[in-house]
Each structure stands twice: as C-alpha cells, then as structure tokens.
C-alpha cells in the first residue's frame, strides 16, 4: 500500500487526512511537534498498524534531520505539507478575528517572520530533506496545503497580511519546486482546503475537517503530470494566482 507522510497531523485537517488514509488501508507517517500530547493520534495507533507517529518541528533543521534519519530508506509515495499557522502570536486567533500584528498600522515584523518560516520556508525545507525517500517510490506526489488567501487575484481582506503573503509565497515556491522535479516524474501542487471548522478556521466555517480531507484526497488521487505546478481548490477547480 502507498505511504503518505503528513505534517501537522495531530489536529484539524492533518488529523482528518490521517484518519481517512488509514481507513482505506494506506500507511501513514503522521508527524507533529509533540507526539506524546497527540491523544487522537495515539488512539488511532491502537486501531491501525499502518500508522507511524514521529516528532517533527518543521522550522527546526535538527528535527528535520532526525526525521530523515529515523525514516532511513523508507519510500514515501505522497508528501502532504499541512503544518501551518494563522498568526505568529500565542493568542488563539481564528479567521473571524482581527490580528493587530498583521494589520497595517500595528504590524509586528517578528510575528510576520514566524509565519513565513512556518508557512513558506518550512514546507520547502521538509520537501528538500525528504526527496531521497520520495524518489524511492513511484507515485511521487507532493501537496502543499495553501489557502484561498494565497491568491492575490481573489484577495478580499487586509486583516491577515502576513498569513496571506506567506501562502502566496508558498505557492510561488511550490511552482519553483514543480519545475525542478518535473523531470523526475513528480506532481507538485498547492491545494486550497476550503474554509474548515478547525481551531484556525472557526466553528462558523463551511466544511468539517473530514469533508475537506475527503475532497483533498480525491484531488490528490486524480492528479496527473499535466497538473504539476497548479493551485487547485478542494473541488478540483484551478485558482488564479
């Protein structure tokens, strides 16, 4: 069965993706910062022998190196870079709140830097580190979980400047990675999961994590080489840059 590695798998969309892939019999490597505190993942591990839970702090080079060493030569068919943050603050903001650190007039450069490191740079560094494992498999798919906020064309708000710019930058980085890996048969895309009922999205969102995960899986399953480098909605529609 294929092996899927998911970052930020302890909650929200990452956890729902983990559950869904396991339910259909795939092997999943679920990573998160503190596996010992990931009670939902630990419960899943008692039900599914195909689940491997590993620690990963996506912004820490030593943590990434430890993950690579732990995996050894294990092939990875699909990499889903899901870990991300809405705010650089420790305050639990949701998409319905105004984050002063991202609003013109009170922008905080350090918090913006934190968001960029987690949302933009980390997915590329994780991808780079796991390339040998991805090349061991035949599927060769890489998905960056982006956001509708990463579309400059469709931008409709100004309250989350750092978050939106981090996702727009992620989309550009994804496109660059897609060019670099196209010759090796990789399909690399950015995916918009929709507005999801998570800690980040709020309870007022449109989709449950399970609904979003099912749609994302359907898109990933049907990806073709011609789609590499695209920004795709959970419905399968293309999103303008």
Whether 13 contacts 21, CB under 8 Å: no
Q: What is the pTM of this model?
A: 0.96
Q: Is residue 238 part of a domain?
A: no
Pick from 144-153, 161-170, 176-185, 202-211: least confident: 202-211
The arithmetic mean of pLDDT across residues 32-54, rounded, is: 96
Question: CATH number of the domain that 26 lies in?
Answer: 3.40.50.720
Strands, E, within 20-85: which ranges? 27-32, 51-55, 78-81
Q: Is residue 239 part of a domain?
A: no
Q: Is residue 241 part of a domain?
A: no
Cα gap 155→162, rounded to integer Å: 13
The residues annotated as belonging to the active site are 163, 167
pLDDT, one tens digit per residue, over 90-135 is 888 888 888 999 999 999 999 999 999 999 999 999 999 999 999 9
Helix (H, G, I), strand (E, B) or coil at 117: helix
Whether 34 contacts 55, CB under 8 Å: yes
Tell me how many domains the chain contains: 1
Beta bridge partners of 60: none
């Amino acid at each position: 069965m294929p092996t899927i590695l998911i970052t930020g798998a302890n909650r929200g969309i990452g956890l729902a993706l983990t559950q869904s892939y396991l339910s259909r019999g795939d092997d999943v490597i679920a990573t998160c910062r503190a596996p010992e505190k990931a009670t939902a993942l630990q419960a899943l591990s008692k039900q599914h022998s195909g689940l491997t839970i590993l620690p990963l702090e996506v912004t820490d080079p030593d943590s990434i190196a430890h993950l690579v060493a732990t995996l050894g030569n294990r092939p990875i068919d699909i990499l889903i870079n899901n870990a991300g943050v809405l705010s650089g603050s420790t305050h639990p903001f949701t998409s319905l709140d105004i984050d002063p650190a991202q609003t013109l007039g009170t922008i905080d450069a350090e918090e913006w830097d934190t968001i960029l490191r987690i949302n933009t740079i980390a997915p590329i560094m994780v991808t780079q580190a796991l390339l040998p494992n991805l090349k061991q498999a035949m599927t060769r798919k890489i998905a960056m979980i982006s956001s509708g906020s990463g579309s400059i064309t469709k931008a409709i708000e100004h309250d989350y400047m750092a978050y939106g710019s981090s996702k727009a930058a992620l989309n550009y980085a994804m496109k660059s990675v897609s060019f670099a890996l196209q010759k090796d048969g990789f399909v690399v895309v950015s995916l918009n999961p929709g507005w999801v009922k998570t800690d980040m999205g709020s309870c007022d969102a449109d989709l449950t994590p399970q609904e979003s995960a099912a749609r994302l899986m359907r898109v990933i399953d049907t990806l073709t080489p011609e789609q590499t480098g695209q920004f795709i909605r959970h419905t399968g529609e293309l999103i303008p840059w």
